[in-house]
Amino acid sequence: MSNVSDSEDLYTLLRASLLERARDKDSNVRLQAIIALARLQRGEEDSGDVPDDQENLTDFLIDILQYDPMPYVSTRNSPLFCPQEATL
C-alpha cells in the first residue's frame, strides 16, 4: 500500500511544481510546464480523479493561456487541451 501513497505524493509534488513553473518568468519554462500540465490534465479528465483541495487543471490552463504575454505560448499549446465544452 505504500507504493500507492508514494505515487500520490510524487504526483502531488510534480503537479505543484509544474503549476509554479507555468508562471515562470522565462517563456520557454512556461511552455514546457504547460505541455506537461496538459498531459496531466488528460489523465485527470479520463479518471475523473481531481482532488477537492487542488485547482482544476483545465481552468488553470485556460486562464494561463489567455493572459500569457508571449503569443507563441498560447498558440503552441492550444491543441493540447482535451476537447470539452470549456475549451471549445
Task: Give the dihedral of Cα atoms 7, 60, 77, 34; nearest 10 deg.
Answer: -40
Q: Are 34 and 65 in contact (CB under 8 A)?
A: yes
Residue 16 lies in a domain: yes
pLDDT digits (tens, 9 = 90+) for 30-59: 999 988 998 888 776 655 565 566 778 888
Select the more confidently predicted residue: 1 or 75. Answer: 75
The model's pTM is: 0.74
Q: Are 76 and 31 in contact (CB under 8 A)?
A: yes
Residue 14 lies in a domain: yes
Domain that holds residue 31: 2-80
Average pLDDT over all residues of the chain: 78
What is the domain count for the chain?
1
Residue 24 lies in a domain: yes
d(C-alpha 9, C-alpha 11), whole Å: 5
Q: Are 84 and 58 in contact (CB under 8 A)?
A: yes
